[in-house]
Amino acid sequence: LVAAAPGRRGTMRSDGPVPVLVAPVTRAEFDLYVEGIGTVQADAAVTVRAQVDGRLLEVRFREGQEVAEGDVLAVIDPGPYRAVYDQAVAKRDQDLADLANARADLDRYERLAKTEAGSRQQADSQRAAVAKLEAQTRIDAGSIDAAKINLDWTTIRAPIAGRTGLRSVDAGNLVRASDTTGLVGIARIRPIAVTFTVAQQRLAELLAAEKRGPIPVEVLADDRGRVAERGEVTVIDNQVDATTGTVKLKASLPNRDETLWPGQFVDLRLVVDRLKDVPVIPSAAVQRTAEGPWVYVVDAENKVRRRPVELRRQDETRAVVASGLSDGEKVVTTGFARLTDGAAVKIDAAPEAAPAAGAPPTATPPGEPGAAKAPGDRPPRRAGQGQGQGQGRPAGASGSEAAPTRAGDQPAASSGSRP
């Protein structure tokens, strides 16, 4: 009924300037990223196992405890191994005494052989006995070393500094060197590592960045791009995976606050280059058609002109302009649904506020950006809000609650405007 009522067209569309937000073409630095998904892993991880058999007498660590390299973690009953060590020492002392006696006899036999009071054969036999005892003392020394090693192994120490995991064996149990489960795992998580893959098409870009120095890595905390941890690439694998067409990389991050944990999946990005002093505009200003990207430029008469542009790079918030714009020119970032080439615009200094109670309705048809709302109505949600100058593009017909209008009275929308 509203659409059919005569004389309503003047109240449905405004003939005045279209309110828009604009942003100037500025020069700034622009980081070039390679993004990916990585898996966090400990910088070093070990499973602590018993190296000798015996009864576990003591466990001296707590689960989840930070330990230093060399800290005592557990003690195996040392009694049997101390006995073996003592026996080896005693055997060495016995053989040393026999060796001293044999050397004294050899000295006497050699003196007798020189005066022909004794036979040369007897001296030679004694010389062989001395050599045999000397070899035995070397065997004894090896036996002592082996016994000492086994005795030392009854005290289980942390091989690396890190955080202990869950204990697998309690005190009182028998443990064996052949056990595969181990007593506990230790992981070093400060620093921590992240492994990830990158498409082989980006390999040349990565290698070029590596030649300039360590490649910075940023681990993202959420989908808004907040950086949780920064580090650098330590390794680019020496081959491409022929199955997936990707190359594996590894990065190291300090993780001082322990925000990352082994096994965690994270979003990350590599800063492979930094463009300096380049013209940039908000990504919200860029529209696209089959012919390519374009923008609305505001001229000196506050009219918009559609202008094709070439972009060097673009991310979620900014675009680097290769050609088509000059420094200082103003581009439109909102209100595209109501704009046409040559349309007059009114530049707003701030996002549009909801009309006050009792304010007269505007001539904008319901459902279009800037349409009048009843008091308390929520303003239409803007897609991409937060980009550019703090405003995104209008949501348009998709997802909006538009009132019916007369046929042919739809707002003029550019073919390149985003929904």
Name the residue ranges covered by the structural domains of the chain. 9-30+278-394, 32-43+186-275, 52-77+154-177, 81-149
For residues 79 and 299, the answer to whether their CB atoms sit within 8 Å is: no
Lowest mean pLDDT among 83-97, 108-122, 209-223: 108-122
Tokens for 28, please give them.
Answer: 């700034």
Q: What is the pLDDT of residue 117?
A: 63
One DSSP character per residue, 133-158 reads HHHHHHHHHHHHHHHHHHHHHTEEE-
Q: What is the pLDDT of residue 8?
A: 43
- The CATH number given to 9-30+278-394 is 2.40.420.20
Lowest mean pLDDT among 95-99, 117-121, 212-216: 117-121
User: If we measure between CA atoms, which residue out of 419, 411, 380 comes closest to residue 12?
Assistant: 411
Q: What is the pLDDT of residue 375?
A: 37
User: If we measure between CA atoms, which residue out of 108, 157, 181, 102 comes closest to residue 134?
Assistant: 102
For residues 182 and 237, the answer to whether their CB atoms sit within 8 Å is: no
Range 267-293 average pLDDT: 95
How confident is the model over 142-186, as pLDDT tens digits? Answer: 999 999 999 999 999 999 999 999 999 999 999 999 999 999 999
Is 361's pLDDT higher than 80?
Answer: no
Is 13's pLDDT higher than 80?
Answer: no
Tokens for 129, please give them.
Answer: 């006995």
Mean pLDDT of the chain: 83
Q: What is the pLDDT of residue 374?
A: 38
How close are the terminal C-alpha atoms of the chain, in Å? Answer: 28
One DSSP character per residue, 152-179 reads HHTEEE-SS-EEE------TT-EE-TT-
Are β-strands 18-20 and 345-347 bridged in parallel, bridged antiparallel, or unpaired? parallel
Tokens for 43, please give them.
Answer: 């910088």
Q: Which fold has domain 52-77+154-177?
A: OB fold (Dihydrolipoamide Acetyltransferase, E2P) (2.40.50)
Q: What is the pLDDT of residue 10?
A: 42
- Cβ-Cβ contacts under 8 Å for 236 (sequence gap 6 or more): 203, 206, 207, 210, 247, 249
User: If we measure between CA atoms, which residue out of 145, 155, 151 comes closest to residue 89?
Assistant: 145
Tokens for 9, please give them.
Answer: 């067209």
Q: 19 pairs with which residues across the strands?
A: 346
Residue 200: pLDDT band (50, 70, 90) is: very high
User: If we measure between CA atoms, which residue out of 391, 338, 389 comes closest to residue 367?
Assistant: 338
User: In CATH, what is the architecture of 32-43+186-275?
Assistant: Beta Barrel (2.40)
User: Which residue reads 């990830």 in tokens?
Assistant: 196
pTM for the structure as a whole: 0.65
- How many Å apart are CA 202 and CA 45, to the nearest integer? 31
Range 183-200 average pLDDT: 96
User: If we measure between CA atoms, which residue out of 316, 296, 313 comes closest to residue 305?
Assistant: 296
Q: 321 pairs with which residues across the strands?
A: 311
Q: What is the pLDDT of residue 139?
A: 97
